[in-house]
A and B are shown apart, each in its own frame.
Chain A
Amino acid sequence: MIDSINHCTPRWLGMAVAFGLAALIMIYLSYSLPRLLPGDFVISMYSSSQVTLTSEQETELRDYYMEDPGFFKYALRLAHLDWGYSYAFLMPVSALFFSALPWTLLLLGTAHILSMFIGFVSGVEVAWRRDSWLEKGMVSTMTILEGVPEISTGVVLLVLFALHLEWFPASGATTAYAELSFWTKLIDIGYHLALPLLTLILAYFPGNFLLARNSMVMVIKKPYIMTAKAKGLPDRRIRYAHAARNALLPLVTRFGLRLAFIITGALVVERIFSYPGLGTLLFNAIKARDLPLIQSVVLVSSLMVLAIILCLEIIYRIIDPRVVYEH
């Protein structure tokens, strides 16, 4: 029965329905959840200032800022791609979002890709040298590193390299107000990126290494590796085309799941290094109870995660042909 349904409906249709439903739920949550935050924009705006509001003024302000458009109107507005206007920054939310997004993508994307690549290659090479001192040493070091949270690595790096040694800048993504040529600007960006990037790599790489090594160790025992050896193939061909290729799948899964933490991952590190990305933006928005900004950042970043998962689903099929046919 189930089989026959699966045969007549194209698989992509089922997937589209599932993803559409997930997106709808996210839109509703992005509307309702930020409203549950204790306090509001008026309190956070005026509680710390010298201005004392009369109760009429306060009611008026609150009426203006806290007006509830209802979910339907909220959704309609989103459908027009109108993200709203930030109370605190007095700018369109989309402009704020798109000015912060590139920095987060640069930081998180580079960190993820680099840590995955380094973790994968070192995991494969170390697993191939099973039972050597190198393997034992690496595995125990990485297990310890895996336990250190990025908040502490970040602070240590900041104190050591930025404050003490003064090798790298302590905050920002670029040198402010500097007139630079294209290349020097690029170097400047890299210079600012170094510490937050290193923090994230140190946080992500041990996990990737351990996963790659474990999955490689399992794959090495498979009969097809013996077949490849029996065929007299060059060592590197066996290691990468036969073994590592099969060990890759769990790592891709991990990569995808990690991307879901792109905002929260950024939040801590971006705060430590005052990096002007989405994390910092969200942090400031929450601090100011800037409802339209919170809603948009939460919604758009969760939709991004959804899109990433969809992409992974497609990538899986390419790297592991079994996914398509197992049913």
Chain B
Amino acid sequence: MSLYIEKLSVLYKENSHAIQALEEVNLELHSGKCLSIIGESGSGKTTLALACLGLLPKNASIEGEIRLNGRPVDYDDEKSLNDLRWAEISIVFQNGAANLNPVHRIIDQVAEPLIHRKGIGHEEAISSAAKILGEFGLGHNECNRFPQQLSGGQIQRALLAMALIMDPDVLILDEPTCGLDALTKSMVANIIRETKDKNKAVLLITHDLEFAERNSDVVAMLYLGQIMETLPSKDLFHSPMHPYTMAMVRAYPAMNTARDLGGIRGDAFYRTMHQHGHKKGAVYRHTHIQSPGYEHESGHAPSTGCIFQNRCTQAVDACRLEPVALEVIGGHEVRCVRHGIVDILSLKGVEKKYGDVVALNSTNFTIKAGEVFSLVGETGSGKTTLAMIAAGVLKPENGKRIFEGKDMDDWIRSDYESFSRKTGVVFQNPAEAISHRFTVFEAVAEPLRIHGLFNNNDELNTKVKEALGYVHLSTDTAFLGRYPHELNMGALQRVSIARALVLKPSLLIADEPTSSLDPSVQAKVIKLLLELQTELGLSMLFVTHDIGLARKISDRIGVMLSGRLVEVGPASLIIERPAHPYTRLLIDSVSGIPPDFPKSQLTLASNSGCPFTERCNRVKDVCKHKNPSLIGIEERLVACHYPLISKNVK
């Protein structure tokens, strides 16, 4: 009992062009399992569901094969399709009540397949329908009502009862939780579990990532008709491997998401293909991405290569070259030229001393392309040192730095200019970071002048104005001629963000960019940074002492103490259930809870013992002698002998 989909492509033909709804989709669904299909609207999810039931409209051309219980689905044989439908595979369509006929009673519609398919008598069919509706919590009264007399939740139950009436092997649920209250949602979850327990297969089509993670075994991410990633559902939130999956996760308001939601840059609705007559009479096929904003000429999809490249946070030239196939990486199937989300920056064993003061002990960390990584910690914990090492401004005594796959030290030594275009830095105090003698225009133009990245003054003007446009500042001549002391701190910090972005870097390093701003201005600047991060597809290293702020903006957080990273992991997990007592302390002190140890004293790193010993109320002997190393617990790394969460959980 299973569903195999092999190289399924669906094109909807319309006059001279065709819409590509699915492209070579391969999926396997075994009995007792649940497979989720996730994707944006227009990604082909519903087409996939309809294809499984042979319900695609006449203008659809289908290639590839769907096998149900070992037998291929024959689209041309209406009779065999009818035998298949509802008996072996049934579906709950999206949009609830519209799927029920308004002029027939609920119970008649549920019993209908029994009467007209199996030839069961009317009385008997009605009583079995009443029984299954009863199991789904619809009593005698509700059963005898018409669809428009029931609530959304009751409709969903009726649809589920109807789908299961003939005991099918495969159940397709198309957006079963869309627009439903939490309780009905949990009922749907229950039904999925029961259906799986009966050794049936469930194909779940949803926008609801959290629901998919909890209720399915495998998740397939669909983008414009292509599967971008297939992954075990437990990895969905914390270790996706495709930038699309990561972006979808970031856009989803899960219960434990702390950071502000971010969309995916650009937009895509559906792909159309059509043919144009060429000058010499030749005809060539090409693909458009149709969306309201695009004109015919500007809306061309990448003609070769990855279809996600124009929205991706890590697209490189190689992505444009040829179509990408799915490959198996670490239990996931990923369609990416760069073999999944890459590390834009990775630091290995970097150390820094100022004289005999150790500012940074040997530290490893990585920033993934497209993510916001926050470094938090108290003053003097080495955050800024680490950030400046990452930016290439400071040179570590030891260790290796790799930026975009190249050795960073070599790169800086041989061609500092090209490296420095790759990173932009926003400093803590904008009033000090911008020369008092520069006007706004000159401040933003300076990086362009240094790198000689313009041909004439017009181009320089355009680029400066574009950068100021990113940060929502005025671009009129009067404003361009202002000096820093004429601007308020918020505007000044925007100017310095514009300056950092004018070279279009791939990594933005922001060192306490808002600590000198009052909360209302800070809120605006933070929103701006997040918006830019999404729209420009930047990766960001954000340094702050405020863990509350870090919570709102980061995908991952690194907590620093005395020149060491003591906890690194997904922001939501670290904030919700901190593992290191120091992280707990940081979280508590944001809300002003007094610490429960006698004195607060900052100790600089010593090589023996945990640096947090003196402020820790869980301290044991071993803490004083042995410095804990980072160990993995619950998808994070923590350096503590007695972490707050048990090592054995999960």
Contacts and interface: CB of A to CB of B under 8 A. Distances in A.
Contacts of A319: 103
Contacts of B617: none
A242 B117 CA distance: 15
B112 A233 contact: yes
Contacts of B84: 232
Interface string A202-246: 000000000000000000001110111111111001000110011
Interface string B141-154: 00000101100000
B158 to A, nearest CB: 11
B117 A231 contact: yes
A60 interface: no
B412 interface: no
Contacts of B93: 223, 226-227, 230
A224 B99 contact: yes
Interface residues of A, number: 23
B55 A321 contact: no
A320 interface: yes
A325 B82 CA distance: 35
Nearest to A235: B78
B13 to A, nearest CB: 14
A7 interface: no
A245 B53 CA distance: 25
Contacts of A241: 104
Contacts of B104: 241-242, 245
Considering residues B116, B117, B146, which has the most beta carbons from chain A within 10 angstroms of its beta carbon?
A: B116
A231 B113 contact: yes
Contact of A320 (B90, B91, B103, B112): B103
A230 B53 contact: yes
Given A231-B112, A232-B86, A233-B116, A226 B99 contact: yes
Given A322-B146, A325-B149, A233 B102 contact: no
A232 B98 contact: no
Interface in B58-107: 81-87, 90-91, 93, 95, 98-104
Nearest to A319: B103
Considering residues A232, A245, A319, A320, which has the most beta carbons from chain B within 10 angstroms of its beta carbon?
A: A232
A227 B112 contact: no
Nearest to B105: A321
A246 B53 CA distance: 25
A232 B112 CA distance: 10
Given A229-B55, A230-B90, A321-B146, A223 B98 contact: yes
A302 B95 CA distance: 46
A320 B101 CA distance: 11
Nearest to A225: B101
Contacts of A245: 101, 103-104
Contacts of A234: 82, 116
Interface string A265-282: 000000000000000000
B103 A222 contact: no
B101 A224 contact: yes
B98 A230 contact: no
A223 B50 CA distance: 12
Interface residues of B, number: 28
B133 to A, nearest CB: 16
A142 to B, nearest CB: 24
A237 B113 CA distance: 11
A231 B104 CA distance: 15
Nearest to B85: A232
Contact of A246 (B102, B146, B148): B102
A224 B81 contact: no
Contacts of A321: 102-103, 146, 148
Contacts of A237: 116
B102 A322 contact: yes
A176 B211 CA distance: 83
Contacts of B101: 224, 227-228, 242, 245-246
Contacts of A227: 93, 99-101
Contact of A230 (B55, B116, B149): B55
Given A237-B116, A246-B103, A322-B148, A230 B95 contact: no
Interface in A79-99: none
Nearest to A233: B116
Nearest to B149: A325
Interface in A91-111: none
Nearest to A243: B101
B623 to A, nearest CB: 64
Given A224-B98, A224-B99, A237-B116, A230 B148 contact: no
B47 to A, nearest CB: 13
A229 B112 CA distance: 12
Contacts of B103: 245-246, 319-322
A231 B110 CA distance: 10
A246 B104 CA distance: 10
B100 A224 contact: yes
A230 B86 contact: yes
Contacts of A320: 102-103
B91 A233 contact: no
Given A226-B99, A237-B116, A321-B102, A232 B149 contact: no
Contacts of A233: 82, 112-113, 116-117
A224 B95 CA distance: 11
A33 B493 CA distance: 85
B144 to A, nearest CB: 11
12 contacts: A228-B101, A230-B85, A230-B90, A231-B86, A231-B112, A231-B117, A232-B87, A241-B104, A242-B104, A245-B101, A321-B146, A325-B146
Interface of B: 53, 55, 81-87, 90-91, 93, 95, 98-104, 112-113, 116-117, 146, 148-149, 162
Interface of A: 222-224, 226-234, 237, 241-242, 245-246, 319-322, 325-326
Given A226-B99, A231-B113, A322-B103, 5 more contacts: A230-B85, A232-B82, A233-B113, A242-B101, A322-B102
The 8 closest A-B pairs by CB, nearest first: A232-B85, A232-B82, A223-B98, A224-B101, A321-B146, A227-B99, A223-B99, A232-B86
